[in-house]
Amino acid sequence: MYPTFINKKRVKIQGIIGKCRLLYFRALGLKVGKNCKIGKIVCDWPNNVELGNNCVVLDDVILGIGYGFNESNTIKIGDSAYIGFRVEFNCTSSIEIGNNVLIATGTKILDVGHNFQIGQIINQQPLTSSPIIIEDDVWIAANCVIVGGVKIGKGSVIGAGSMVNRSVPENEVWAGVPAKFIKHRE
């Protein structure tokens, strides 16, 4: 265990590094609200990403934008959102995260897929893309996968390890592969 003065110094240095990281991404075009904390992230098109106020984005988060020259390909994260370690966003359409959303470690949010019709080589078939909307007050537990065209309703909970391939109504708990209704939130 480090002595207290070393811990305080370490916290101060990490705070300075975090502020430098924010300045760097803002200079690249990332729209960042007030009081945000950003860890060591990968963001290939920062001008297509927007963070609300009081957001926390931990280390190893990937904010991936395909076709970044298309301004409609955006990731928008609302106020007071928490994005855990190693969360991956893969966006070629749009991903919208509401306010007060918790997304736990290892989750992947992918609005892009691929056609796979017989008679044509798969790598020559077009990509498919559909927006994802995660409304306010949602908790997505660790290691989930959310695919394109899904809307997760306000106040819903997604259980750990789930794969969500269809929309979830408000205030419901879903889990499994594929995710299914478990119960209503009480």
Question: What residues act catalytically?
Answer: 114
Order of strands, edge to edge, in the sheet holding 74-77?
31-32, 49-51, 74-77, 94-97, 132-134, 151-152
**CA nearest to 148, candidates 78, 73, 81:** 73
Tell me, rounded to whole angstroms, the distance of Cα 3 from its chain centroid: 36
CA distance 134 to 158: 11
CA distance 30 to 19: 14
CA distance 107 to 141: 8
CB atoms closer than 10 angstroms to residue 11: 10
Which is it for the CA torsion 123, 45, 157, 172, positive or negative? negative
